[in-house]
Amino acid sequence: MSGPLSVFDRPNSYIGRTVPRPNARRLTEGRGRFVDDLSLPRMVHAAFLRSPHAHARIMGIDTGAAKASAGVVAIYSGADLVQHIEPWVGVLTHLKGLRSPPQPAIAVDVARWQGEAVALVLAASRAEAEDAAALIEVDYEPLPIAIDMERALDLDEPVVHADFDSNLAWERLVEQGDVDAALSDPDATIVERTFTFGRHTGVTLEPRCLLAAFDPSERRLTVHYSGQAPHMMQYIYAKHLGLPEDHVRVVADDVGGSFGIKVHTYGDEVAAVAAAMLHGRPVKYVADRFESFQSDIHARGHRVTARMAVSAQGKITGFDMDDLTGIGPYSVYPRTSAIEANQVLNLTCAPYQLPAYRARGRVVFQNKTVMCQYRAVGHPIAIAVAEGMIDAAAVASGRDPVELRRLNLIPDDAYPCASATGMRFNELSHHACLDKLVELIDYDGLRAEQERLRAAGVFRGIGISSFVEVTNPSPMFYGVGGAPIASQDGATVRLDASGAVHISSSVTEQGQGTEAILAQIVATAVGVPLERVRVTTGDTETTPYGGGTWGSRGAGIGGEAALLAGQALRAQVLEAAAVILQAKVESLDIADGKVVDSYTDRERVTLADLARQIYYRGNELPSSLKPELVATRHFRVTDYPFVFTNGCQASWLEVDIETGEVKLLKHWAVEDCGRVINPKLVDEQMRGGVVQGIGGALFEHCIYDDQGQMLNPTMADYLVPMAAEMPDIEIVHVETPTSTSVLGAKGAGEAGTGGAPAAIMNAVNDALRPLDAQVTAQPITPQRILEALKAF
Amino acid sequence: MTKNRRRISFTVNGERVECDVLVRLNLVDFLRAELGFTGTHVGCEHGVCGACTVRVNGAPVRGCLMLAVQADGATVETIEGLNDTGAIPALQDAFVAHNALQCGYCTPGILITALDYLEHGGTADRAVIRERISGNYCRCTGYQSIVDAIAEVAAAPADGGAP
Amino acid sequence: MQRGKAAGRLQGRTSATIGDNMKAPEFAYDRPETLAAALAALSAAGPDARLLAGGQSLMPMLNFRVVEPTVLIDINRVPGLDTIEEAGDLIRIGALVRHVAMERSELVATHLPMVHKVMPHIAHAAIRSRGTIGGSLALADPSAELPACMIALEATIVAHSQNGERRIAADDFFIGVYETVLASDEMIVAVEIPKQTARGHAFREIARRHGDYAMVGLAMTTATGVSLDNARIVFFGVAGRPVRAKAAEAAIVGLVAGTEAGECAAAALDGTLEPHGDLNAPPAMKLHLAKVLLKRAIAELQERVS
C-alpha cells in the first residue's frame, strides 16, 4: 500500500462529505425503475381471493364460474399449489423452543387469519383477475378464534394449531443477579408500570410486488423483486419450488420503500412465482393497499409489565419485566417471529449499569395477520419501557430525569463491557451524547418555558430517550440458527478501459443511499472522481454473494467490503503502474483519476491511458507482468455479535388537555453511529426513522374487532404521519468509529425509529404530570389522553 | 360482462393521443400501462396517498380518482412531460441537493403538488408548506428535507424561468 | 329514495364486508351534454345508476367495489352548472363548481367568509381540483364539512328532475349516512346561500391530521358578531347527518359572545346531543369535544369583535 495518509485523511476524500446521491436525479424526472413499471411479453396478472374469516376450515372451493370469466388464464387453490411449493417452517435453532407448524404458500385446508390467501387467479389484467376472484365460491366453516394475546394461553382459549398443546410459540427467561432482593429493598424507590404497544405495520408506499418469468427450456427462473435480500430469496425460491439455486435469478432494481416489510417470505409471492412456472407465462403480482394492510407483516403488538428499583443514591438496583407479544398463526420464515421479543429481552435497559435484571418473554400465536421484523425490531418497545420507567423513577424519587440517567448510564470509559443480558458493548458514548443533547435543546431553558406556560394553563412536555441500537450484525443473528441469510457481504471493484470504476456489491438500495456511499467509499479508496464511479446492486447473477440490506448493515458491512476492495484495486493499479512507469510503488499515488508522483503530485499517466494500455496493448508489457484491475473483498463482523450504536433523543411537545391533541414542537437527536460517510444521508435516515417512530407512538394501529377482522385496512383509517403534524428534527453527531473495521462505520438506519416513541411518550407524560395523568399505551391517541385526564 | 370502451382524444405531455379506453380504467393505470408513462406511481387507489398525482388542465389531480375517459379533451401532464419541457428544474435541483427523496416513489406526486403550490403564490413559510404537501405520503424522508427544498425554491428570486 | 344508501362508509366497516378488490368493476358509461339529457338518463337508468361529478368519493367506492352501479352518468359536460354568481342577496353556486374554485373565489371570500375559511380543511389540493359542491352535498358524508356549513348558512339546495325544479332548505336536505331527500331521478343543479354580510360565523373542527375527516366539527352562525341570537349551531362527525344543536341555540339567546355564553351553550348539549362513536372517539368523548368546540367557537366570536 502506498501513500502516507490513511484513507480518511487523503485530499479529495469523499468520506465524511455530503454529496448528492448520483441516483437521485433520475427519480425526480420520472425515470424510476420499479417492478410495476416492467412489462414482459405475454405477461399475466395475479390476484388473490383471501379469507374473510380469521379462522375457518375450507370445505370446498368452486371455481367454475370464475374460470369462465373474461380474461382468466388459470386459477389455483391452495391444494393445487401445495404439490408444487414445499411448505416452510419459521424456526431457528438458536431460539430454543421456538415452534411453528409448516406453512403452505396459500391456505389449503384451513385459513388462519383474515386476509390469508385461499386462491390465486391469473388473468390478462388485474381487474379481470379481481372480477374472477369475486366469482369463486368458497365454502367456509368458521372455527373458534384466538385473537386476544392476553387470553392466548388461557386453558379455555381456542388453540390455533390442533397439533400444538397451546398457543405458546416461544418463551425465554433472562435472569442475572438477584432481582427480587432489589425489588424488596425497603429503602429503594420502586416503580411499576404496564406498557402496551399497538400492533402496526410498515405501509411502504410501493406495495409488495414481483414479476416472475420462467424459461422451461432451461428451467431458469427470473424474479424481478422489490425487496432487500435478493440472495436470500434466491435460496428460498430454489428450495421451495424445486430448482437448483443457480437456476434462480433475483433482481432488485428500484424499491419504493421497504423498512423490513420486504425482507420476509410471503406465501402469496411464492404462489405467484410458482404460477409463473406452472403456467409458463410471466406473472406480475402487485399487492393492492387493502391486501397490503391485511397481509404485509405486522409488528410491535406487545404488553410489558415492568418493575424497577432505584436506591436512595439514585442507582438502578434491579429491573424485572414480563413481555407478551401476539404474532400471527405462523412464525414468519426464515427470520422468525421471535426475534422481536428476543430483542426486547436483550435490549431493555441496555444503556444502563444494572446489577440485577430479569425479563420473561412469551410469544403467542393468534388468528391475526402474521408478524415479523420491521424497522428497529424490538427497540421501540425496549427503549420505551426502559425510558418510561426511568422517567417514572425520576419523578418517584424526586430527581430530574436527565440527572437520573447520568447516574446510571454506562460510563463512556467503561468499555468493553457487557449488559446483564450478555450484550457486548464497545466504544459507546452515552454520556457524551446526553451532554450534547442537553446543551442542544437548552434543557434548562425549556424547563423554564414549561413552567411559565403551565401557569398560563398551557401544558408542554420534554421527553428524553437514551438508547443503544443493534447494527452491523454478525452471523450470530441468523446464520448461526440455520437461516439462509448471509451476514457477510462482498464488493467487486473494477477499473474499466475508460478509466471509470465499477462497483458490484451485495448490499442493496431502497433509497437510503447505499449506492451513493459505496461510490463515495470506493472513489476515495481508489482515487477517482465520484462521477467516474458506477454501482450495481441487487442482482444475484452479477453481484457478489451476500446478505442484502437489513439490520442497518449496509454502510458498516457492505461499505467495509467496498473499502477493502477499493484499496485492493488501488494496489493492483499502482503495482502495474510502477512496472510500466519504472518507478517505485511507494513513490506513486492515485488522485483525481490519475497516477501521480506522490511527493510532487505531478501527473504520470491517467487511469484511462494506463487501463487501455493494459487491456489493449498487452504487447507493451513485460511478460512477467500479469495485471489484474479487478478486486473482490468480503467482510463480516467477527469481534462482536453486533456492533452497537448509541444515541439519545428529545421531544418537545404541547398537549391540548381539552381535546387530547398533541402538537409536536421540535425533536432532536444526538447519534453516534461511528464514522459518518455522508452526513446528509445519515441525518435523513434519522429523520425518516424518527417520523416512522412517531407514527407508532401517536398514530398507527392495526385495529381488530372481536371477530379478528381488521377494522382499518385503508389509508383513510390507518393513520400514517403526514407532513403537517411532523416537527423539524435537529440532528448532531458524536463520532466514535468502531474498531471492528477499517472504515469504522456503524449503522444508522434504525435508531431514529427505535428512540423516538420513548421520547414522545415521556414528553406527553411530562406535560400531563401536574394533572396526575399518565399514558403508557401506544399509540397515544387523543382518546387515551382524555381518558387519562378523566375528561369524559 | 362486455368490455365497455369509449373513444377519447386528449393531449398528454404535449402529444395528441386518440384511443379506445376501457371505461372502468382509471387515469393513472391508463397512463402507466397503455401509454407507458410509468413515472407516476400507484400507492393506494383510494386517493389518500398522493403518489398518483398528475396535472389535468393545469391542476393537480389524483390519477386514481379520475377515469381515463374523463380525460377526453383535456390536457394532461405527468412528471415526464414536466421534466422534458423544463417546467420544474429549480424544484428538481433543490430536491436532489436537499436529498428530499429517498426511494423516489412519492417524488413525482410531490413535485407536481409543489409546482401547484409555487404557481399559486406559495411562500417559504414552512408551516404553510407542510399543510400544502400534507396530502402526499412519504415514508422515507419524514418530510423535513422536502420542506427545505420547496422553501428554498419559494424564497429564490424569480428569474426568467419557471419555478 | 336515494342512491347512496347502498354505499357503506369505509371508515369503521369491517374488512369482511368489503371485497378484496381495488380495481373498479364493469359499468356502462354515459356522458350527457345537456341538463335535459342528464335528467333523462338519470330517470331512465333507475336506482342502480350513479352520477359522476368530481368522483373524489365515488371513485374510491368503485375501486373498493363498495358500489357496483350498472351505469355511471358523467355530468361534467353539462353546461351552466359551474359558475359562482351574485344574485341579489344570494350567492348562487353551481353544482359542478369545484372546491378549488370556491377556495379561490373573491365572491365567496367576501360574502361567505365561513365557506372561504372551511375550504382548506377539505381533504387536499388534488382532491379539491375535482371535488364539487353538488357532489359533496349529494353524497352527505356525516363527517364532511360542507353539509354542516350549508345548514349553518341557511342555504337552499336547488334540485332538478324531469318533473321540474325543487328547492330544498339545507335544514331538510340531509337524512342520514349517505342519505338525502333527493329522489333517484333528481340531481342538484345549484346551491343558493344568503350573503353573510351581517352575520357572525365560527368554524372549528378536530381531525387527527390536517385534511382528514373531522372527529367532531362545528359550523356556527349568529345574528351578528356580537349577538348570539338566531344562532345556528351545527355539529358534524357526531351522527349520521349534521346535527343542529337547537337546545344550545336557545340557551344563548340574549347573550353576547363570552365565557358565560360558552358554558351555557356547552351545558345545553348534555342530554340533547347524543353522538355516535367511531374508531377515533367513543360517544362520550365526542360529546366532550363538541362542548370544547362550542366554547372555543364562541370565544372566537368574542375575540373577533374585540
Please check whether residues A570 and A683 belong to one and the same domain. no
Nearest CA among A361, A458, A466 for reference residue A404 = A466
Tell me the pLDDT of chain B (163 aa) as tens digits.
Answer: 457 999 999 999 999 999 999 999 999 999 999 999 999 999 999 999 999 999 999 999 999 999 999 999 999 999 999 999 999 999 999 999 999 999 999 999 999 999 999 999 999 999 999 999 999 999 999 999 999 999 999 999 865 444 4
Contact B46 C210 (CB under 8 A): no
Q: Residue B50: its chain A contacts at CB < 8 A?
A: none
Nearest CA among C118, C140, C104 for reference residue C203 = C118
The ipTM assigned to this model is 0.97
Nearest CA among A40, A328, A85 for reference residue A210 = A40
B–C: how many Cβ contacts below 8 A?
95
Q: Choose the closest CB to A684 out of B83, B139, B145.
A: B145
The answer to whether residues C52 and C133 touch, using CB atoms and an 8 Å cutoff, is no
What would the grid cell of residue A678 be? 455522508
Predicted local distance difference test score (pLDDT) of residue A744: 92
How far is the alpha carbon of C202 from chain B, nearest alpha carbon, in Å? 21
Residue A120 lies in a domain: yes
Residue C167 has pLDDT above 80, yes or no: yes
Classify each residue of A199-231 as buried b or exposed e, where b means 16 or more C-beta atoms within 10 Å of its C-beta. Answer: bbbbbbbbbbbbbbbbeeeeeebbbbbbbbbbb
Average pLDDT, chain B: 95
Amino acid at A268: D
Contact C60 B65 (CB under 8 A): yes
DSSP letter assigned to residue C253? T
Residues 10-29 of C with CB under 8 A from B: 10, 22-29
Amino acid at C113: P
Please check whether residues A335 and A212 belong to one and the same domain. no
Ramachandran region, residue A613 (left: φ > 0; alpha: ψ -120 to 50; beta: rest): alpha
Predicted local distance difference test score (pLDDT) of residue A614: 97
Neighbouring subunits of A (3+ Cβ pairs under 8 A): B, C
The answer to whether residues A14 and A520 touch, using CB atoms and an 8 Å cutoff, is yes
Residue A40 structural domain: 35-143+203-295
Q: Choose the closest CB to A709 out of C14, C21, C292.
A: C14
Task: Please state the pTM of the whole predicted model.
Answer: 0.97
**In percent, how much of chain B has pLDDT > 70?**
95
Q: How many CB atoms lie within 10 A of CB A603?
A: 13
Contact A20 B45 (CB under 8 A): no
**In percent, how much of chain A has pLDDT > 70?**
99
Please check whether residues A507 and A645 belong to one and the same domain. no
Residues 723-752 of A with CB under 8 A from B: 723-726, 728-729, 752
The answer to whether residues C209 and A663 touch, using CB atoms and an 8 Å cutoff, is no
Please check whether residues A408 and A538 belong to one and the same domain. no
Q: How far apart are CA C182 and CA C176, in angstroms?
A: 12
The answer to whether residues C23 and A126 touch, using CB atoms and an 8 Å cutoff, is yes
Average pLDDT, chain C: 92
Q: Residue C14: its chain A contacts at CB < 8 A?
A: 705, 707, 709-711
Contact C52 B132 (CB under 8 A): no
Residue A308 has pLDDT above 70, yes or no: yes
State the average pLDDT over residues A689-693: 98
Q: Which residue, among B5, B23, B116, would best test binding to C if mutated, counting the most C CBs under 10 Å from its CB?
A: B23
Q: Residue C15: its chain A contacts at CB < 8 A?
A: 52, 114-115, 290, 294, 709-711, 713
Query: What pairing do the DSSP bridges indicate for beta strands A168-176 and A200-201?
Result: unpaired
Q: Choose the closest CB to B103 out of A131, A255, A690.
A: A255
Nearest CA among C219, C208, C217, C220 for reference residue C237 = C217
Angle, vertex CA A703, rays to CA C61 and CA A762, nearest 5: 125
Please check whether residues A291 and A308 belong to one and the same domain. no
Neighbouring subunits of B (3+ Cβ pairs under 8 A): A, C
Q: Choose the closest CB to B4 out of C26, C127, C210.
A: C26
The answer to whether residues B99 and A24 touch, using CB atoms and an 8 Å cutoff, is yes
Predicted local distance difference test score (pLDDT) of residue A10: 78
Please check whether residues A698 and A625 belong to one and the same domain. no
Q: How far apart are CA A507 and CA A226, in angstroms?
A: 14
DSSP letter assigned to residue A371? B
Contact A205 B49 (CB under 8 A): yes
For residue range A398-457, list pLDDT tens digits in order: 999 999 999 999 999 999 999 988 899 999 999 999 999 999 999 999 999 999 999 999
Q: How many CB atoms lie within 10 A of CB C142?
A: 25
How far is the alpha carbon of B140 from chain A, nearest alpha carbon, in Å? 5
Predicted local distance difference test score (pLDDT) of residue A550: 92
B132 interfaces chain C, CB cutoff of 8 Å: yes
For residue range A254-303, list pLDDT tens digits in order: 999 999 999 999 999 999 999 999 999 999 999 999 999 999 999 999 99
Residue A198 lies in a domain: no
State the average pLDDT over residues A34-50: 97
Mean pLDDT lowest among A41-45, A384-388, A743-747 = A743-747
Contact B60 C126 (CB under 8 A): yes
Which of A249, A272, A295 is the C-terminal boundary of a domain? A295
A781 interfaces chain C, CB cutoff of 8 Å: yes
The answer to whether residues A465 and A347 touch, using CB atoms and an 8 Å cutoff, is no
CA distances to A122, A298, A487 from A95, rounded to whole Å, are 39, 20, 18
Contact C20 A724 (CB under 8 A): no
Q: Residue C18: its chain A contacts at CB < 8 A?
A: 290
Q: Residue C64: its chain A contacts at CB < 8 A?
A: 290, 714
The answer to whether residues A90 and A103 touch, using CB atoms and an 8 Å cutoff, is yes
Q: How far apart are CA A133 and CA A47, in angstroms?
A: 7
Q: Choose the closest CB to B142 out of A259, A289, A687.
A: A687
Nearest CA among A621, A477, A610 for reference residue A550 = A477
For residue range A160-213, list pLDDT tens digits in order: 999 999 999 999 999 999 999 999 999 999 999 999 999 999 999 999 999 999
For residue range C179-203, list pLDDT tens digits in order: 999 999 999 999 999 999 889 999 9
Predicted local distance difference test score (pLDDT) of residue C6: 30
What's domain B88-155's architecture? Orthogonal Bundle (1.10)
Residues 12-51 of A with CB under 8 A from B: 20-21, 24-25, 27-32, 34, 36-37
For residue range A592-610, list pLDDT tens digits in order: 999 999 999 999 999 999 9
The answer to whether residues A29 and B79 touch, using CB atoms and an 8 Å cutoff, is yes
Predicted local distance difference test score (pLDDT) of residue C9: 40
Contact B135 C74 (CB under 8 A): no
Please check whether residues A779 and A689 belong to one and the same domain. yes
Backbone Cα Rg of chain B: 16
Predicted local distance difference test score (pLDDT) of residue C224: 84
> Which helix (H) or strand (E) covers residue C262, if one does?
helix C259-269
> Which helix (H) or strand (E) covers residue C188, if one does?
strand C187-194
Predicted local distance difference test score (pLDDT) of residue C19: 54
The answer to whether residues A193 and A322 touch, using CB atoms and an 8 Å cutoff, is no
Burial class (CB in 10 A: 0-12, 13-18, 19+), C178: buried
- Omega into A416 within 30° of 0, i.e. cis? yes
Mean pLDDT lowest among A176-190, B77-91, C50-64, C213-227 = C213-227
Q: How far apart are CA A251 and CA A224, in angstroms?
A: 5
Contact B135 C123 (CB under 8 A): yes
Average pLDDT, chain A: 96
State the average pLDDT over residues A231-241: 98
- Omega into A779 within 30° of 0, i.e. cis? yes
Q: Choose the closest CB to B143 out of A27, A255, A691.
A: A691
Q: Residue C12: its chain A contacts at CB < 8 A?
A: 711, 717
DSSP letter assigned to residue A247? G
Amino acid at A283: V
Please check whether residues A274 and A330 belong to one and the same domain. no
Please check whether residues A413 and A449 belong to one and the same domain. yes
Q: How many CB atoms lie within 10 A of CB B120?
A: 12
How far is the alpha carbon of C131 from chain B, nearest alpha carbon, in Å? 10
Q: How far apart are CA C215 and CA C205, in angstroms?
A: 7
| Helix, strand, or coil (residue A328) | coil
State the average pLDDT over residues A540-556: 93
Nearest CA among A661, A695, A699 for reference residue A782 = A661
For residue range A503-521, list pLDDT tens digits in order: 999 999 999 999 999 999 9
Q: How far apart are CA A293 and CA C13, in angstroms?
A: 15
The distance between the two most distant Cα atoms of chain B, rounded to a whole number of Å, is 57
Query: Which residues on neighbouring strands pair with residue A653, listed in sequence order?
Result: A461, A664
E-strand ranges in A315-393 read: 316-326, 357-364
Q: Residue A50: its chain C contacts at CB < 8 A?
A: 20
Q: What are phi and psi for residue C66, nearest 5 degrees?
A: -75, -25
Neighbouring subunits of C (3+ Cβ pairs under 8 A): A, B
Per CATH, B5-82 and B88-155 having the same topology is answered no
Nearest CA among A331, A285, A327 for reference residue A117 = A285
Please check whether residues A618 and A666 belong to one and the same domain. no
Residues 25-84 of B with CB under 8 A from C: 26, 29, 45-47, 50, 53, 56, 59-62, 64-67, 69-70
State the average pLDDT over residues A235-248: 98
Q: Residue A290: its chain C contacts at CB < 8 A?
A: 15, 18, 20-22, 64
State the average pLDDT over residues C81-109: 98
Residue A575 lies in a domain: yes
Q: How far apart are CA A482 and CA A302, in angstroms?
A: 27
A584 interfaces chain B, CB cutoff of 8 Å: no
Confidence grade of residue A314 (pLDDT, cut at 50, 70, 90): very high
In chain A, the number of structural domains is 3
Q: How far apart are CA A634 and CA C115, in angstroms?
A: 64
Q: How far apart are CA A471 and CA C19, in angstroms?
A: 41
Q: How many CB atoms lie within 10 A of CB C85?
A: 12
Domain map (residue ranges) of chain B: 5-82, 88-155
For residue range A628-661, list pLDDT tens digits in order: 999 999 999 988 889 999 999 999 999 999 999 9
Q: Which residue, among B83, B130, B139, would best test binding to A if mutated, counting the most A CBs under 10 Å from its CB?
A: B139
Residue A155 lies in a domain: no
State the average pLDDT over residues A465-488: 91
* CATH number where A742 lies: 3.30.365.10
CATH 3.40.30.10 assigned to B5-82: no
Please check whether residues A629 and A555 belong to one and the same domain. yes
Please check whether residues A504 and A388 belong to one and the same domain. no
What would the grid cell of residue A405 be? 440517567
Contact A709 C15 (CB under 8 A): yes
Q: Residue C63: its chain B contacts at CB < 8 A?
A: 26, 45-46, 64
E-strand ranges in A107-188 read: 110-111, 117-123, 137-142, 168-176
Q: Choose the closest CB to A658 out of C64, C279, C292.
A: C292
Predicted local distance difference test score (pLDDT) of residue C258: 87
Q: How far apart are CA A370 and CA A381, in angstroms?
A: 18
Q: How far apart are CA C245 and CA C235, in angstroms?
A: 7
How far is the alpha carbon of B96 from chain A, nearest alpha carbon, in Å? 6
Confidence grade of residue C16 (pLDDT, cut at 50, 70, 90): very low
The nearest alpha carbon in chain C to A49 belongs to C20
Q: Residue C282: its chain A contacts at CB < 8 A?
A: 783
